[in-house]
A = this chain, B = another copy of it.
Amino acid sequence: MPVVAMVGGGQLARMTHQAAVALGQRLRVLAASHDEPAALVTPDVVLGTHTELDDLRRLADGATVVTFDHEGVPAEHLFELVAQGVTVSPPPQALLYAQDKLAMRRRLSEMGLPIPDFADLAPAADDGVDAHTLLDGFWARHDGQIVLKAIRGGYDGRGVWMPDSLDEAQQILADSGAADSALIAEQKVSMRRELSAMVARSEFGQGAVWPVVETVQRNGQCAVVIAPAPDLSDDLAEEAERIALRLAADLGVVGVMAVELFETAEPGPDGGRLLINELAMRPHNSGHWSMDGAVTGQFEQHLRAVLDYPLGDTRSRAPVTVMGNILGAAQAPTMSMDERLHHLMARMPDAKVHLYAKGERPDRKIGHVNVVGGPGSITDPDYVAAVRERAERAAHWMSTAVWTDGWDEHSDG
């Protein structure tokens, strides 16, 4: 059976290993230590770091394919591996568009796909025009409704700034120059909500999309996912799926990809109401619901895609599934994680809990809970709201040891 090697030993690798076990494989991971979430559960661990070519070479040795739990691997290393005959999926020329927010926006513009207005603030980027002058202009054009983003390396709210004044924006730009971290400015969109279209594409070229989901962000990172997105018109759902399939094909993605989208509050000037926000070329938080809520989960699908197996059925297994992230609390509860799990199981015997075996730090993603709705109709707002309330209540309990509905887990009533 094939050997899949994954760069990174985090929770995405951990959950990919679970899927690999069913397929008669096991996952090999590149991890910094044996304490990382995936390294704790697979025996095939290469100790090292993704920035060292030699470590990547040791990971790839004898593997059928090299893939990723995060996108932060230097492209030159990946091109070197490819030159040596290693299969890298997604290939580095595709991964670029998940690594580099500027390259992604330029490419999507060329493809005619809908994205918010943006400006490159890299020093002397635009024919020698000073970046601060460009920022002045971009600020004025959008009445100060702008976002600054690091071109490389941001995630979960890091590398994203929402300045309240032009002075603050200029200061962020100045600091980024000192930090040698180039920025783009992006129009802040007036939106109804955020969506995600998760897609898989195999080496052979087969594509498959899951139902489009709604993602709820808090403090700049994903907190809740509702699958499928409630009250999404068939037209918009189909447009989102078409965008994801086209991007996967045109960029040459191999593996799963999340296309994060804005659904705008008002129809835009182009008549479109969807704007593409970011791409992630790996299993993604917005796809965790699929582990319990879809016929084929994203981790199994990622393995199928990078190994060039035919893709699995992406249909939902229930009218609605809601995922709530378990985040490290501002102050870790005195009640142990194990005891919290005990109480959650007592209260919600149907909740599907996924823990990552990570230390609890504020806002760190340490697990998630899926609540798969039973029979009912997605068009009934009470039904979706009830499933969502249970998922959020479960996740909040696991994070904080506090029940949002005031339940006392040690009382008799």
Q: A: which residues have CB within 8 A of B?
A: 1-2, 14-15, 17-18, 20-26, 34, 39-43, 45, 295-296, 304, 309-313, 315, 317-318, 337-338, 341-342, 345-346, 349-350, 352-357, 367, 372
A38, closest chain B residue (CB): B21
- Whether the pair B312, A367 counts as a contact (CB closer than 8 A) is no
Q: Tell me the smallest distance from the CB of A360 to a CB of chain B, in Å.
A: 12
Smallest CB separation, A204 vs chain B (Å): 10
Give the distance in Å from the alpha carbon of A371 to the alpha carbon of B43 in the complex.
30
Can you list 24 residue pairs at the A/B interface with Cβ under 8 Å?
A: A1-B337, A1-B355, A14-B21, A18-B21, A20-B41, A21-B41, A22-B354, A22-B355, A24-B337, A24-B341, A24-B357, A25-B357, A26-B41, A39-B43, A40-B43, A41-B43, A295-B349, A295-B350, A309-B342, A309-B345, A310-B346, A311-B349, A312-B349, A315-B350
Query: Which of B18, B22, B349 sits near A313, CB closer than 8 Å?
Result: B349
Report how far A401 CA is from B349 CA in the complex, Å: 40
- Select one of B2, B338, B345, B353 contacting A22, CB under 8 A: B353
What 3 A-B pairs come out closest when comparing CB atoms? A24-B355, A313-B350, A310-B345
Q: Which B residues touch A41, using CB under 8 A?
A: 17, 20-21, 26, 42-43
* Shortest distance between the CB of A320 and any CB in chain B (Å): 14
CA distance A57 to B60 in the complex (A): 38
**A22 in contact with B18 given A1-B337, A337-B1 (CB within 8 Å):** yes
Return chain B residues, CB-CB under 8 Å to A26. 40-41
Q: How many copies altogether? A: 2
A317 contact set on B, CB distance < 8 A: 317-318, 372
Which residues of the partner chain B approach A315 to less than 8 Å between Cβ atoms?
350
A346 to B357, CA, bound (A): 35
Question: What are the residues of chain B within 8 A of A25 when measuring CB–CB?
Answer: 357
Q: How far is the CA of A41 from the CA of B311 in the complex (A)?
A: 24
Nearest chain B CB to A40 CB, angstrom units: 6
With both chains docked as a complex, state the minimum distance between the C-beta of A201 and any C-beta of chain B, in angstroms.
15
Which residue of B is nearest A14, CB measured? B21
CA distance A263 to B290 in the complex (A): 38
Cα A350 to Cα B25 with chains together (Å): 19
Contacts of A309 in B (CB 8 A): 341-342, 345
Set B24, B353, B372: member contacting A295, Cβ < 8 A: B372
Which residues of chain B are near A357, meaning CB under 8 Å? 1, 24-25
- With a cutoff of 8 Å between Cβ atoms, the chain B residues found around residue A18 in the complex are 18, 21-22
For the complex formed, measure the closest distance between the CB of A19 and the CB atoms of chain B, giving whole angstroms.
9
Please judge, given known A-B contacts A309-B341, A313-B350, whether A355 and B43 are in contact too, CB under 8 Å.
no
